[in-house]
Structure 1
């Protein structure tokens, strides 16, 4: 996922750790997930309601894929990689098993997120992932001084000259492409078409360079720039914008007119999982709005549970609903898997923008 630490953390909750190659009982759910996605109180409620026992191993995308590759999909019953880490590893390593959608309570999901994730995780006609926790990058604005900024390309307007910041990373390339009326994701399968899009984005970013106060590298750096008033308009993550809003109501995360850029961490079934029933029970349990709100409170990000925002902390609920009316949620551009070769194209563009005078 985009905004979490990639440090490797490991914790076990419930019974003692079952090693990668050991067998756990059919009533034991071995969950491979991110920090905050399986809070203690949620586990206790699930165990009391279902009779299953939950063992949690905390990890990150790279570690999840490495663990499942090492065992050909064994050792765990449910895992939570990001949606762009599913189709490729499945095609190459066969580490997941298809999801039986008849066992998923689909009515509990935000429809646009469910359909997007199913489409991005379909391999050979089978669905391998459903959405859980998500987040976006978009615009963080001091609305008192940058209220005219509605999309990424507005960062190049004279009204905010010298008070703009964004990262020289691929989300900036993707966001500007969408704001310029192009669809970079639709060109993923055509290297020549993608190169043409990136050339146009490169020209725009070079043109926009005089507007940029600085290219930020870390979230704390950007938050300092915005708090001080040195930057009034930026590309940044939703959670950062909401933190700033808690200090200054004029600062807010805004979903761009062309769509925020979204990541989703999913639920997948490892190929050799032994407790599918417990896995389906967990998915359906945590997607209940009241339960999903507990995960939002623990993780800091919202889930794909429909209506869960009504049950989170009142202040966070107000910030979320102001940033994401339903039409903005449906307009999120979800990152699909990146084909080989595109990162090299993007890297060249970013290097040239950085070097431009």
Structure 2
């Protein structure tokens, strides 16, 4: 069963959590020196050869299942091929919550009981800065080396992708109801047109919102500055006071857009695929000025007891045939472009259509407008989150 025929909650809403809140922001914002782990202290005793088991922690609804959801076909196939039993848990419901769950062990140089985790890009940056994840051995991962999308190979937080490998990716762009609006939206600036007053929503989370809005102002988000951010805040404050922006949302923008209460909004590519199944009038736009490309990353925590097995599982999901199976189920941007040909040649009409969907496999024109934003540093986060949250609360 593919995601085009099922109803999911918003993947991205689950994945991002509330950036800058709770223990995560406090620890990273203060840059607690004792929390940092030196590279020489990150590796544990690797028991992969002896213990044919692996603990993989992921988010709900983020792996392929069969029709009754009792089995996970790609994961089960890995177990049959390798003899490795994967203990798969859907325990990650919020980035900050998960950070709070495993941070005591990591900052105290203790193992977490997990060999592989999937966390959002901004949280992955925090783990890398704190030295809480191990480098992967790319010599053991030929499929990652061969097939990882070039657009995702060098995020600012992890040059060379030494500590992380994208599980799935996506785009933060603009969704709108073309029939009700009566015209196209091509630019982020189009959101500020007078006929959209009170009919626009933005995402409430700082990490979700800022990159696309900066791109709309012509900023290179791979190297944006504090001045760029504060200029943006002044702009959005003015739009809020003029009541141009209806409100700031989590994934409830989906309902607003479906009912017509909102005509245009910031949105995630995977959500729009789901919306279009019921309402073909909903369009998704990568603006002319660009849009944010993001990923949720696979990472191996410090002292993981089955590092070699974890690296093997990561590489398995970069085999184009396996990546195609996963992409057909989750319907986000596939980080393995070669999976497109697998779906196109599958002989299945529905899967062949997915291969042509630019929200799963962006075409060349769209790819040229995508960028991975520089992450917010620990020194910036407290100040920036405070200012952004004050705008959201206006």
TM-score (norm 2): 0.72
Among 124, 129, 132, the alignment partner of 2:167 is 132
Q: Does 1:283 align with 2:283?
A: no
Contact 1:73 1:272 in 2 (8 A): yes
Name the CA distance, whole Å, in 2 between partners of 1:115 and 1:52. Answer: 30
Equivalent position of 1:67 in the other structure: 102
Distance 1:228 1:30, change over 3 A: closer
Among 41, 56, 69, the alignment partner of 1:31 is 56
Among 92, 98, 111, the alignment partner of 2:135 is 98
Q: Secondary structure at the match of 2:249?
A: coil
Please give the per-residue CA displacement for 1:103-141, whole angstroms capped at 9, x wherever unaligned: 22211211111233xx4224xx98211212122221002
Among 106, 111, 115, the alignment partner of 1:77 is 115
Query: By how many angstroms is 1:300 displaced?
Result: 4.3
Name the CA distance, whole Å, in 1 between partners of 2:388 and 2:304. Answer: 42
TM-score (norm 1): 0.78
Please give the per-residue CA displacement for 1:258-288, whole angstroms capped at 9, x wherever unaligned: 2222331112222222333322221121122
Contact 1:242 1:316 in 2 (8 A): no
Query: By how many angstroms is 1:318 displaced?
Result: 4.6
Equivalent position of 2:194 in the other structure: 158
Please give the root-mean-square deviation of Cα atoms over the aligned residues, in Å. 3.3
Contact 2:57 2:90 in 1 (8 A): yes
Q: Which runs of 5+ in 1 are unaligned?
A: 8-20, 188-192
Please give the per-residue CA displacement for 1:2-60, whole angstroms capped at 9, x wherever unaligned: 422689xxxxxxxxxxxxx9x77432222122234444111221112222221112222
What does residue range 10-49 of structure 1 map to in structure 2 within 5 Å?
A: 25-39=50-64, 40-49=72-81
Q: Secondary structure at the match of 2:288?
A: coil
Equivalent position of 2:6 in the other structure: none
Contact 1:99 1:127 in 2 (8 A): yes
Contact 2:121 2:294 in 1 (8 A): yes
Among 191, 209, 224, the alignment partner of 1:172 is 209
Please give the per-residue CA displacement for 1:202-234, whole angstroms capped at 9, x wherever unaligned: 3322443447362142433x2333233332221
Contact 1:36 1:298 in 2 (8 A): no
Name the CA distance, whole Å, in 2 between partners of 1:216 and 1:239. Answer: 19
Distance 1:87 1:234, change over 3 A: closer
Name the CA distance, whole Å, in 2 between partners of 1:322 and 1:70. Answer: 37
What does residue range 1-357 of structure 1 map to in structure 2 within 5 Å?
A: 2-4=12-14, 25-39=50-64, 40-60=72-92, 61-62=95-96, 64-65=98-99, 66-67=101-102, 69-70=104-105, 72-92=110-130, 94-104=131-141, 105=143, 106-116=145-155, 119-122=156-159, 127-144=162-179, 145=181, 147-170=183-206, 171-183=208-220, 185-187=222-224, 193-194=225-226, 196-209=227-240, 210=242, 212=244, 214-220=246-252, 222-309=253-340, 311=343, 313-314=351-352, 316-321=354-359, 324-339=362-377, 340-352=379-391, 355=394
Deviates more, 1:197-206 or 1:238-247: 197-206
Deviates more, 1:241-250 or 1:142-151: 142-151
Contact 2:222 2:374 in 1 (8 A): yes
Please give the per-residue CA displacement for 1:231-275, whole angstroms capped at 9, x wherever unaligned: 222111212222221122221211122222233111222222233
Distance 1:318 1:151, change over 3 A: same
Name the CA distance, whole Å, in 2 between partners of 1:344 and 1:164. Answer: 26
